[in-house]
């Protein structure tokens, strides 16, 4: 199958130099670039090479999710995935409006990769493979941040099926508020390594430099009724757990962007990350205990099982379940278009 790659971002900014670079790169390569706006987005947003969807345009897509999803929420990015999939994309790349692409960002991506692989390793601080600095990805349980990882040379290199791939970000990587309050930035990473995590190995991944192949599209779903700073992190745990049943891995690879971080209130970020600090380990323990079904055709029911568990744990609101049902319905329609 010929790959049709689309780029998806959500932004409330006016066109800035990052969005400009993403639009220019997409336009020159014939790729669709979808930007999903929200309430604060400028009404006159226009950027050549970019398909911008403000709220009204989102409602006009006909997707049921558009009217059910809360406004002023990062989860509206789900609409960008649906728009791109309906237009024919079978590979989605997502990033944010403060991540500048390197030339390598635009390079060919391969789903099957030969890489050092870990299985059954429990929590893995993947950043340890890319730097000697004491740094960890947002979402890693705090009690694990000082743990070492198996030496790269000790890992078996194998061909791994990785329909989800996380690229790192240099300069201002995705770390939690505690790291930002007590440790040093900027930090950058090695560009000569890749690591694949399989069954029984956990590491959070984000939505800032991430590639998804069509088989894994249902797992793109970003929950809306949870902590804002946990939506992509908890998505990553659900995606990893469901992926195990398919024999899939998640590839972590060299940085292909660098971040010029938008302004954040770190204490507000800290507050929004508290549910993760307190619950990420127990979430993954609960997900690991679920009996899920193998087969790509069962991803939807597996998603529902995972989110029903998070609702049962009182970490995600019960309103999430009809929203997830709308996502699955809209996704099926987008794929059939």
Backbone φ and ψ for 23, nearest 5 degrees, come out as: -65, -45
> In which domain, by residue range, is 146 found?
5-336
What's the structural domain count of the chain?
1
Look at the block and give the residue holding tokens 């409602």: 59
pLDDT digits (tens, 9 = 90+) for 228-251: 999 999 999 999 999 999 999 999
Backbone φ and ψ for 186, nearest 5 degrees, come out as: -80, 160
Q: Measured between alpha carbons, how far is 247 from 160 in angstroms, rounded to an integer?
A: 9
Query: Which tokens is 16 given?
Result: 């800035």
Beta-bridge mates of residue 14: none
Which residues have CB under 8 Å from 51's CB, separation 6+? Answer: 32, 33, 34, 35, 83
Share of the chain above pLDDT 70, in %: 100
Query: Which tokens is 100 given?
Result: 């500048």
For 208-220, give the DSSP string.
Answer: SEEEEEGGGGGGG
Which residues have CB under 8 Å from 66's CB, separation 6+? Answer: 58, 59, 79
Kindly report which listed range (32-36, 54-58, 152-156, 263-267) carries the lowest average pLDDT score. Answer: 263-267
Query: Which tokens is 225 given?
Result: 């009724």
Quick one: pLDDT at residue 88? Answer: 97
Query: Which tokens is 101 given?
Result: 């692409």
Q: What is the DSSP letter of 230?
A: G
Q: Measured between alpha carbons, how far is 197 from 124 in angstroms, rounded to an integer?
A: 9
Beta-carbon neighbour count of residue 14 at 10 Å? 12
Q: Is the peptide bond before 267 cis (omega within 30 degrees of 0)?
A: no
Backbone φ and ψ for 51, nearest 5 degrees, come out as: -100, 105
Quick one: pLDDT at residue 1? Answer: 64
Quick one: pLDDT at residue 292? Answer: 98
pLDDT bucket at 262, cuts 50 / 70 / 90: confident
pLDDT digits (tens, 9 = 90+) for 127-138: 999 999 999 999
Share of the chain above pLDDT 90, in %: 96
pLDDT digits (tens, 9 = 90+) for 30-51: 999 999 999 999 999 999 999 9
């Amino acid at each position: 199958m010929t790959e049709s790659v689309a780029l998806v971002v959500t932004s409330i900014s006016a066109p800035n130099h990052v969005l400009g670079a993403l639009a220019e790169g997409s336009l020159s390569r014939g790729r669709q670039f979808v930007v999903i706006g929200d309430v604060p987005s400028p009404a006159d947003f226009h950027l050549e090479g970019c398909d911008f969807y403000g709220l009204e345009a989102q409602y006009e897509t006909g997707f049921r999710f558009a009217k059910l999803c809360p406004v002023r929420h990062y989860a509206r990015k789900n609409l960008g995935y649906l728009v791109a999939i309906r237009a024919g994309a079978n590979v989605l790349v997502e990033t944010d409006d403060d991540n500048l692409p390197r030339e390598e960002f635009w390079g060919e991506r391969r789903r099957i990769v030969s890489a050092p692989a870990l299985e059954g390793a429990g929590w893995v601080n993947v950043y340890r493979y890319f730097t000697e600095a004491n740094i960890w990805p947002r979402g890693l349980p705090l009690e694990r941040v000082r743990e070492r990882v198996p030496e790269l040379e000790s890992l078996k290199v194998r061909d791994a099926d990785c329909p989800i791939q996380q690229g790192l970000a240099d300069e201002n990587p995705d770390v939690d508020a505690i790291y930002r309050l007590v440790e040093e930035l900027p930090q950058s990473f090695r560009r000569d390594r890749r690591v694949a995590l399989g069954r029984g190995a956990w590491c959070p991944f984000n939505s800032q430099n991430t590639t998804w192949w069509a088989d894994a599209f249902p797992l793109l779903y970003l929950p809306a009724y949870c902590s804002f700073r946990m939506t992509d992190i908890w998505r990553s745990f659900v995606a990893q757990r469901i992926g195990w049943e398919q024999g899939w891995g998640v590839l972590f690879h060299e940085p292909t962007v660098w971040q010029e971080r938008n302004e954040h209130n770190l204490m507000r970020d800290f507050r929004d990350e508290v549910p993760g600090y307190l619950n990420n380990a127990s979430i993954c323990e609960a997900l690991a205990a679920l009996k899920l079904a193998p087969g790509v055709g069962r991803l939807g029911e597996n998603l529902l099982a995972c989110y029903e568990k998070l609702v049962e744990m009182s970490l995600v609101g019960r309103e999430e379940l009809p929203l997830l049902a709308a996502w699955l319905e809209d996704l099926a329609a987008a794929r059939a278009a």
